[in-house]
């Protein structure tokens, strides 16, 4: 993802990327024609195929009079706007997959989120910087000054965990390190924003900090007779020794059903109301949808026939 300073720059950068992208493909094909190594030839062929499949698009908000504004810079926003509204075509390989069957086009945001789609280069100004989650996004090119929470949310686009992704890469073309320190100090608990934290550190310093943290954890666990090494090298856990094997695989017994309601709950209700007849218990059961939904009945209140009353001392909330 490339973040540009304005909309005109987005369209200009798209034109430059397309030009140098095709130039790189021609250079790889020329290199492939001169190589005699089969392994190198296969590697270059995969690169060329990946670059030919890759698609790029401009994603900017629409405004009034934008066509005339872009024409002043000898640019045409019409094809980009059409692509933003209609979406991208699905490649034939994706249409055969069950999630994308019977689909012809996808919106740009869905296509960029779909890992199988060849839409891999998005050129934006302000859209997709906040609230847009793409875990597979690995590289962010910043050519726009950002500050405070906007900067923090923008760099978080490339910081998501994804399978096959080792880390996120952020390329800064306008010098935002000072603003990043201030943002970290404000939003990462570093104070009021005057001091700041330096996010750019040497790898050896980070490794030393990691080794120190691991040592503290080991010491904490050793003091409590729980060493860390057995936890790291543990590959499985034994079965529960108190539960016999034949009981672990025995299916659970289902309660006996009577007229769509569990008979066990009916018996529980009868146990709490021993002085009532079976018909009254059934009527009390039907008053509530579940054992916890019975209405509060005062002692002496008539349930069914006039001779059936709640005996004093019977608690009707127990179910």
What is the structure's pLDDT at 150? Answer: 79
Instruction: Using pLDDT thresholds of 50, 70 and 90, give the confidence band for residue 25.
Output: very high
167 within domain boundaries: yes
Domain shared by 156 and 278, yes or no: no
User: Is residue 39 scored above 60 in pLDDT?
Assistant: yes
Give 123's strand partners: 2, 58
Domain shared by 193 and 119, yes or no: yes
What does the pLDDT average to over 128-153?
Answer: 83
248 within domain boundaries: no
Instruction: Report whether 7 contacts 125 (CB < 8 A).
Output: yes
Burial annotation 215-227 (CB, 10 A radius, 16+ → b, else e): eeeeeeeeeeeee
The encoded tokens of residue 107 equal 């919106």
The encoded tokens of residue 100 equal 């994308």
Q: How many Å apart are CA 51 and CA 54, to the nearest integer?
A: 5
210 within domain boundaries: no
- What one-character-per-residue DSSP string does 76-99 give? --HHHHHHHHH-EEPPHHHHTSGG
Domain shared by 299 and 150, yes or no: no
Q: How many Å apart are CA 142 and CA 126, to the nearest integer?
A: 12
pLDDT digits (tens, 9 = 90+) for 264-297: 555 555 555 544 445 554 555 444 444 434 444 4
* Structural domains of the chain, count: 2
99 within domain boundaries: yes
Q: What are phi and psi of 155, to 5 degrees?
A: -70, -20
Give 88's strand partners: 106
Q: How many Å apart are CA 283 and CA 304, to the nearest integer?
A: 7
Instruction: Using pLDDT thresholds of 50, 70 and 90, give the confidence band for residue 92.
Output: confident
Name, in order, each residue with C-beta under 8 angstroms of 107's C-beta and a sequence gap of 6 or more.
87
Mean confidence (pLDDT) of the chain: 75
Domain shared by 142 and 274, yes or no: no
User: Is residue 36 scored above 60 in pLDDT?
Assistant: yes
What is the structure's pLDDT at 198? Answer: 60
Instruction: Using pLDDT thresholds of 50, 70 and 90, give the confidence band for residue 193.
Output: very low
189 within domain boundaries: yes
Name, in order, each residue with C-beta under 8 angstroms of 265's C-beta and a sequence gap of 6 or more.
255, 285, 291, 319
Instruction: Using pLDDT thresholds of 50, 70 and 90, give the confidence band for residue 192.
Output: very low
Q: How many CB atoms lie within 10 A of CB 148?
A: 13
312 within domain boundaries: yes
Instruction: Using pLDDT thresholds of 50, 70 and 90, give the confidence band for residue 13.
Output: very high
Sign of CA dihedral 145, 149, 152, 157: negative
- Strand 139-142 and strand 2-3: the pairing is parallel
What does the pLDDT average to over 180-197?
Answer: 61
Q: Which domain, by its residues, includes 313?
A: 256-319
5 vs 282, residue with greater confidence: 5
Residue finishing a domain among 135, 168, 200? 200
User: Is residue 26 scored above 90 in pLDDT?
Assistant: yes
What is the structure's pLDDT at 252? Answer: 53
What is the structure's pLDDT at 104? Answer: 84
237 within domain boundaries: no
Domain shared by 154 and 263, yes or no: no
Q: Is 152 in a helix, a strand, or coil?
A: helix
User: Is residue 315 scored above 90 in pLDDT?
Assistant: no
pLDDT digits (tens, 9 = 90+) for 237-266: 665 555 555 544 555 555 544 454 444 555
Domain shared by 151 and 23, yes or no: yes
Residue finishing a domain among 153, 182, 200? 200
Domain shared by 196 and 267, yes or no: no
Name, in order, each residue with C-beta under 8 angstroms of 304's C-beta and a sequence gap of 6 or more.
277, 279, 280, 283
Name, in order, each residue with C-beta under 8 angstroms of 228's C-beta and a sequence gap of 6 or more.
217, 218, 221, 222
Instruction: Report whether 124 contacts 144 (CB < 8 A).
Output: no
CA-wise closest residue to 154 among 175, 128, 173: 128
From 25-29, 170-174, 276-280, the region with the lowest mean pLDDT: 276-280
pLDDT digits (tens, 9 = 90+) for 198-230: 666 677 888 888 899 989 998 998 888 888 888
**Cα 289 to Cα 19, 118, 142, 210, 292, distances in angstroms:** 70, 54, 60, 57, 8
Instruction: Using pLDDT thresholds of 50, 70 and 90, give the confidence band for residue 68.
Output: very high
Percent of the chain with pLDDT over 70: 69
What does the pLDDT average to over 175-192?
Answer: 69
Domain shared by 159 and 19, yes or no: yes
What does the pLDDT average to over 133-146?
Answer: 86
Domain shared by 9 and 86, yes or no: yes
186 within domain boundaries: yes
Domain shared by 194 and 273, yes or no: no
Residue finishing a domain among 157, 177, 200? 200
Domain shared by 115 and 17, yes or no: yes
Domain shared by 158 and 292, yes or no: no
What does the pLDDT average to over 302-313?
Answer: 47
The encoded tokens of residue 109 equal 């945001």
Name, in order, each residue with C-beta under 8 angstroms of 259's C-beta and a sequence gap of 6 or more.
none
Instruction: Report whether 84 contacts 59 (CB < 8 A).
Output: yes
């Amino acid at each position: 993802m490339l973040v540009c300073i304005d909309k005109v720059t987005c369209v200009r950068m798209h034109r430059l990327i397309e030009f140098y992208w095709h130039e790189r493909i021609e250079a790889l094909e020329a290199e492939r024609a001169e190589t005699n190594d089969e392994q190198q030839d296969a590697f270059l062929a995969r690169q060329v195929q990946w670059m030919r499949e890759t698609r790029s698009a401009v994603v900017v908000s629409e405004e009034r009079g934008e066509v005339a504004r872009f024409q002043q810079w000898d640019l045409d926003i019409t094809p980009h706007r059409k692509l933003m509204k209609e979406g991208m075509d699905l490649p034939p390989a994706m249409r055969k997959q069950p999630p994308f069957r019977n689909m012809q086009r996808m919106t740009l945001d869905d296509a960029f989120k779909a890992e199988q789609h060849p839409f891999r280069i998005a050129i934006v100004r302000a859209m997709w910087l906040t609230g847009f989650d793409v875990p597979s996004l690995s590289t962010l090119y910043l050519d726009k000054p950002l500050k405070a929470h906007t900067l923090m949310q923008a760099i978080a686009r490339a910081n998501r965990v994804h399978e096959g992704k080792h880390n996120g890469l952020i390329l800064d073309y306008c010098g935002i390190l000072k603003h990043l320190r201030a943002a970290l100090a404000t939003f990462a608990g570093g104070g009021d924003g005057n001091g700041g934290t330096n996010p750019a550190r040497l790898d050896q310093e980070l490794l030393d900090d990691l080794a120190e943290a691991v040592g503290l954890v080991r010491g904490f666990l050793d003091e409590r007779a729980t060493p860390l090494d057995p936890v790291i090298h543990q590959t499985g856990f034994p079965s529960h020794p108190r539960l016999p094997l034949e009981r672990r695989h025995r299916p659970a017994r289902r309660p006996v059903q009577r007229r769509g309601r569990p008979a066990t709950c009916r018996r529980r209700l009868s146990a709490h109301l021993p002085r009532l007849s079976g018909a009254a218990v059934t009527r009390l059961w039907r008053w509530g949808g579940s054992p916890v939904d019975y209405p509060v009945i005062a002692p002496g209140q008539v349930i069914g026939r006039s001779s059936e009353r709640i005996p004093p001392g019977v608690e009707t909330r127990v179910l």
